Structure 1
Amino acid sequence: MISKEFCAENLSQLPQLSSDKVQRVELCDNLAVGGTTPSYGVIKEAAGYLHEKNISLAVMIRPRGGDFVYNDLELRAMEEDILRAVELESDALVLGLLTKENEIDSEAIEQLLPATQRLPLVFHMAFDLIPQDKQKDAIDQLVELGFVRILLHGSADKDDIFKNIDHIKDLLAYAGNRIEIMLGGGVTAQNLQKLCRETGVKAVHGTKII
């Protein structure tokens, strides 16, 4: 069975969803910049509404668009947003923190971990910016940090995802059962079956998956 995560920018799209169509919603704001943290009120209403439908909620924690290198002020803001998302009964948190060299910023992530209160953690498509020869090391780091899922496209330029089949298969084989690989960026209701069949991945994400 393919696990489907719908990417929702606001509350307006939620009434079209049902648990037989999607298992989870990633809630964010500002999709034009790749998604940022939604407001307190949006998270609260989404959590209540989706849980009544037996759909789980993953909340994006990202204070701004642009790169994924954050200063101390931004990290403190992320910590506060995490605390609020936990308080509002989010089921998972979506994060992506990199160093200036586009490697996993373990130090910054560790700073945020206490606030997460052991909620499942997802590393978002910032992963695609990590140099490909360092992505397996990044998988090891994320497993050690307690992440349960990585959202990726397979390349940083967001080209046709089918061009990335071999690389995705390689990463999936390396990840094994240690961490879930979820595909996003160009995944649609029309191509997701073929994409999962060709890669072996069993989880997809997007705004057009239903």
Structure 2
Amino acid sequence: MLKCEDNVENIEGVMKMLKEFCAENFTDVPQAIANGAKRIELCDNLTVGGTTPSAGVIESTVAYAHDHGVPVMTIIRPRGGDFVYNDYELKIMETDLIEAKKLGTDGVVIGCLTADGDLDEEALDVLIDRAIGLPITFHMAFDAMPVEKQFTAIDWLAEHGVDRILTHGGPAGVPISEHYEHLKALIAYANGRILILPGGGITHENAAEVAQTLGVPEVHGTKIIAL
């Protein structure tokens, strides 16, 4: 199993940056890796924000990526829409996570909320327990939380072994540069306890600027690599 922190690249010799490519199925993975992706977030159905890919897609992607020294983070999400899941959906997520782990995924990407916009701590406890031994990213469900609840969410996620939080810093569709101040506040509050991973609207053209402005070692996106 590869470490998700492997394979970073220098930005003008000043800092290092890891580009996580958000892949919709296997199709673009070989080209993305050839062009510099150092980690893959593997999804299906990006039109709804990403759902769990099939076992076959996970297996093939993991095999190819590992042959090229690149780790794979697999999203565990049963459907599009909100991030409030019932017991049946949670069971689906639990089973999918266990299967992804068997297939060799290097980490998982999860996110569960309550109807009030809090972390669904009970659901997350189950998934974190099933993911034991794997790095965990909390996905952009974070951006659906009220701002005032995001800081206590950082505390809980850090305390429960989550490695990073993927966030645009605000509403989707707004340039990430307009969210710099909030992202800086999140990064400062996290204070190294958990990584704030910026994503959404980051491309191969502005990735270095985003990383340098925010002082982060990792960036994420579907266009983070020129294909």
Deviations 1:144-164 (A, max 9, x none): 121001100000343111001
Task: Name the SS for the 1:2 alignment partner.
Answer: strand
- For this pair of structures, how many residues does the alignment match? 210
**Structure 1 equivalent of residue 110 of structure 2:** 95
- Residue among 181, 185, 198 paired with 2:196: 181
For the residue of structure 1 that corresponds to 2:163, the secondary structure is strand
- The answer to whether the aligner puts 1:72 opposite 2:87 as a matched pair is yes
Check whether the contact 1:19–1:55 (CA below 8 A) recurs between aligned residues.
no
Give the stretch that moved more between structures: 87-96 or 198-207: 198-207
| TM-score where L is the length of structure 1 | 0.97
For 2:208, the aligned partner's letter is: Q
Runs of 4+ residues over 6 Å off in structure 1:
none
CA separation of 1:57 and 1:157: change in aligned 2, threshold 3 A: closer
Quick one: distance in 1 between partners of 2:32 and 2:179?
Answer: 29
CA RMSD of aligned residues (A): 1.2
Residue 60 of structure 2 corresponds to residue 45 of structure 1: yes
Which among 140, 146, 157 is matched to residue 161 of structure 2?
146
TM, length-normalised to structure 2: 0.90
Local SS of the residue matching 1:205? strand
Q: 1:108-147 maps to which residues of 2 (within 5 A)?
A: 108-147=123-162
Equivalent position amino acid for 1:165 in 2: Y
Equivalence for 1:36: 51
**Out of 158, 170, 186, which is 2:185 matched to?**
170
**Could you list the runs of 5+ residues in structure 2 that have no partner in the other structure?**
1-15
Consecutive unaligned residues of structure 1, counting only runs of 5 or more, are none
Q: Which moved further from structure 2: 59-68 or 96-105?
A: 96-105
Comparing 191-200 with 141-150, greater Cα deviation is found at 191-200
Task: Write out per-residue CA displacement over residues 152-208 of structure 1, whole angstroms, 9 at most, x where no aligned residue.
Answer: 000034311100111100110111111111111100111111111212222111111
Q: Which amino acid aligns with 1:191?
A: N
Amino acid at match of 1:17: A
**How far did residue 134 of structure 1 move?**
1.5
1:117 positional shift: 2.7
Of residues 108-117 and 86-95 in structure 1, the stretch that sits farther from structure 2 once superposed is 108-117
